[in-house]
Structure 1
């Protein structure tokens, strides 16, 4: 996952208190805290491209687009994660003064070699406990590839892969963007 977990339980309240003064970010999973490593430039550029374009698209809506500085609280899974991009349209989040949200409709993770397996498996399983989440998007930083998992009306998560030349559609926020725009200014991929 990240840096090896500690061997003792930390309560969510203690985690939140410590996180407010910590010089680095940590994710919280079932009583264990994991330090987050810094991201490489392609990761940051991709996330920034998505935040900017989603923000412009949702400017006149009641939704807000959040960066990796805001945590998502998953009550049922007992986790706090810092996704690269999150969108919430729920008034309980949009009017909250907390440093986390609880009701995202869209989560985007930009994959890195060290986190890809966890993002695809355990983290995705944890996110699936969120009743408001409709899309979970994994964006490669090493190749022009976006994988979108959508929750259908039957409660199943279906995958759609977008590659070079594609128009990426995020149904949860009715947003369409060229995959080239997602990867704009990422050296070696355009």
Structure 2
């Protein structure tokens, strides 16, 4: 089993290879090679290859996915705006007369569904790059909130998968979204109590 690759420590050890003392430089290269082997990489891959633990390639890929996610969310909002009934009566009348209104609504619904699916996929892909949370604690809070109602079965399944460490990326994305919502509410409550406490 390979260890996680610590890029910062690897770079620090490798910087010692520039030493004027040959023994120190050789020891640094050997230590860097050992760190790379422990992570399941060759020394060349560790020096030049992509870093899956937050290096520049991973950061760039994460930024691209976040941009795609924002674009997909904007597309959903635009489709909602177009099909929300905000058009004028003359437009609807022409659509009904031509018999195309149902087809246009159906096409817009299909596009919305594709955009929703893309948002879910991107959120799941992004989870691989984000720092892990205390999944069991977040899942317990999620279950406490949704144990009654429509999401009860899903919340129970989520709690079970978190407790046996079998969360899927989509589950992690859902829990991360829930944790962010709870955190925002806590910050708002703290800010409002601070405003009321100040004279």
Q: Which has the higher strand share?
A: 1
> Which of these two proteins has the greater Rg computed from alpha carbons?
2
TM-score range, shorter chain: under 0.3
Structure with more helix by fraction: 2
Query: Normalised by the size of structure 1, how large is the TM-score?
Result: 0.22
What TM-score results when the alignment is normalised by the length of structure 2? Answer: 0.21
